[in-house]
Structure 1
Amino acid sequence: MARRRKKQLPVDPVPATIESLSHEGRGVAHLDGKAVFIDNALPGEEVRFVYTSQRKAFDQGRAVDIITPSPDRVEPACPHFLVCGGCSLQHMSAPAQVAHKQAVLLEQFHHVARLEIEDVLPPLTAEQWGYRRKARLGVRFVVKKDKLLIGFRERSSAFLTDMNSCVVLHESVGQHIEDLQALVRSLDAYQHIAQIEVAVGDDLTALVFRNLEELSTDDQAKLIDFAKAFDVQVWLQSKGPDSAMPLWPTGSRLYYALPEYDVELDFLPTDFTQVNYAMNHQMVARAIELLELQPEHNVLDLFCGIGNFSLPLSRKARKVTGIEGSAALVARARENAERNNVTNVDYIAADLTEYMPAADEPVDRLLLDPPRSGALEVVARMKELNPQRIVYVSCNIATLARDAGELVANQGYKLVSAGIMDMFPHTAHVESIAVFERR
């Protein structure tokens, strides 16, 4: 059978008026009744764009000429912005980004949950640049370019961006992309390094090199020299996350502190931790404030991770129980509790899609911080626990809105307030928080 020929895209730029901004941060226009999603375009702008793909339901493009710019348009700080898929909103002012994310929150609650947020919390914001302390950087040697690339993927592409710096990554890594490229290219196994995982603590930056084959003594020596020169810790990971081991130095401690609660949390570079530590400080404080804790309260922290919320909560409540699906993270949480001399927290490793703790004593307050898939299985059983107040921290507004609808429609709760936290500036990602109270 003859292979179907790929449709040729129009070559010449096409004029368009941008009507709105999609949840992903792309300008939305309509041509002949068909939606077109256009990168590098803002609402109200007149632009000329080139098509990047055409589909039956919608088309995609990239603005190449801004005829009438929006007052919200700014010059992107990164020279790779139009190519790299790491950011989508650097061409938009910081206040406009926050306003857009707040609007997405309101729209999702209205359309998904049929709920109106009467009390919209003031948005939380922090540093716009160099904030990202967790990342996974791809590594690939491109034969045609005779160049080793390290970075994020291009927009809507499997290719890696040809980049030499990153303004949103912590400066210990973002300003040393070229040094990392030179390091990996110098290795005998340069074609067998698949990725570099970045984890930055308060006093240490760790780089986990995913090596697909065992490294020679010479290659390991080069990695150690790099670690010494740039004051970082180098790890090797030959298989899954459990195989990650420090190469040099072996005794360094990776941690972050929440001094307002007299807490320090140790973690491994492959553990889940929040990307933006400045925002995490504000997020923890807001969650605790919204829970309205009393010293006699019994608190349940679901999807507790390494103790990011539960350990600070222990300073305010009588008892905290943290539950998490990852046994490795629960082990870390217990170690952190012991390190911080916390004795009023219990940790349980359990799959929360199936497990619900027995209500041996009343649960006064509940905190939820689930993954992107949300916590529908948990909230659908909330009558069993029946806490007076729930604070739900979410990294996906759509699943938060869905779960909010379940809490209000079927579980006997009312929506008290909700708002956004700008955890990922210059991206369309929205971190949010909502409060529910038993009716």
Structure 2
Amino acid sequence: MDLALQAALILFGTFFVLLAIGVPISVGIGIASFITALTIVPMDVAIFTAAQNMVQGINSFALLAVIFFILSGSIMNNGGIAIRLINLAKLLGGRLPGSLAHTNVVGNMLFGSISGSAVASAAAIGKVMTPLQEKEGYDKSYSAAVNIASSPAGLLIPPSGVLILYSLVSGGTSISALFMAGYLPGLLMGLAVMVVAYLIAKKQNYPIAERPTVSQGLKIVLDAIPSLLMIVVVIGGIVAGIFTATEGAAVAVLYSIVLSAIYREIKLSHIPEILKETVVMTGIVLFLVGASSIMSWVMAFTGIPLAISDMLLAASENPIIILLIMNLLLLIVGTFMDLTPAVLIFTPIFLPIATELGMDPVHFGIVLVFNLCIGIMTPPVGSSLFVGCSVANVSIESVLRPLSKIFIALVAALLLVTFIPSISLAIPKLLDLM
């Protein structure tokens, strides 16, 4: 049997068996990779190589950016920023049928981009918006579906820790270019949710929000400006070359501390919990990166990515068909695997195929993350799905019907991003980042 095929069967077979019996993903990656390594090299070499790759995997200056953005997001989640962004989202939502649903979408896009977490966004925005929508007569399943589907949009809109991880795994793709490339696809994801939300709201005759006065609108904008300036300072500084992504993440931490202090909604008693939350999340991410480094070595040593690439390229000579197959596979992966491990595992497999087709690594990174963002909202392991249902106090079954309609719109948006590269690449090229 070919070495690549044998290694792939052992690696992924063991990994999926471990997932099925409830082993955590990071531990499953490490165990499956080590077992596969034992079949191709002696035990002492496998132990030494596994340890070496784990250390090398997390010995990266760029990973500090992820840690700092996690800390910044934790501070913001406790710093009174969500309600100010929701008020701004109400203003931006306009006077459309189902105005509160559109407010939910815009709120998730704003808060998700700042906090860097779809789950935090679904929880923070959902807690505020669900009671308001219920009071206005919105169906709870509809409200929950809109909240769940729009919460991942902020992961594409910078600053994004996931895009930093992709840059690391892909061999150093420009973080600045990735950040700028995420804007239009992130907005398109939010717009796709809003279109379906509008159609359902129009059919159900959901109410239109009252028009705020000029003075009210001005106050809302002024209240939200300090929060939005963080994006301008951090992203502007990175793109302008004033500081690196890691330094920008540290600036985001400092900015969020100062802003939370100004709002007076964060107390000294909150700090231990914030630090604990950051340490736990950091530990999870670093262990995932370390374990995935072993898997990447095993795959590279046995030639698994090249074998998969040859198999896909042999299946069809049409790039459109191959890209459709890749999207389908990534959508399936996203339904049972969280976004971070999926990026770490499948970037080395699919990136060579994408570059073989002439796809820019920046473009592919956005397509990859877009696919996996859709997976966050789908069963059986969609993290935003579970959090959104919990916040709205509705069953998963009741949410699936409205969610399936939004899912179709998001897949359509994904195909646009896949086959129209300029949606991702126009801004980075305009800013001369590529």
TM-score, shorter chain, exceeding 0.5? no
Higher percent of residues as helix: 2
Between the two structures, name the one with larger relative contact order (CA 8 Å, sep ≥ 6): 2
Q: TM-score, normalised by structure 1?
A: 0.24
Q: Which has the larger radius of gyration?
A: 1
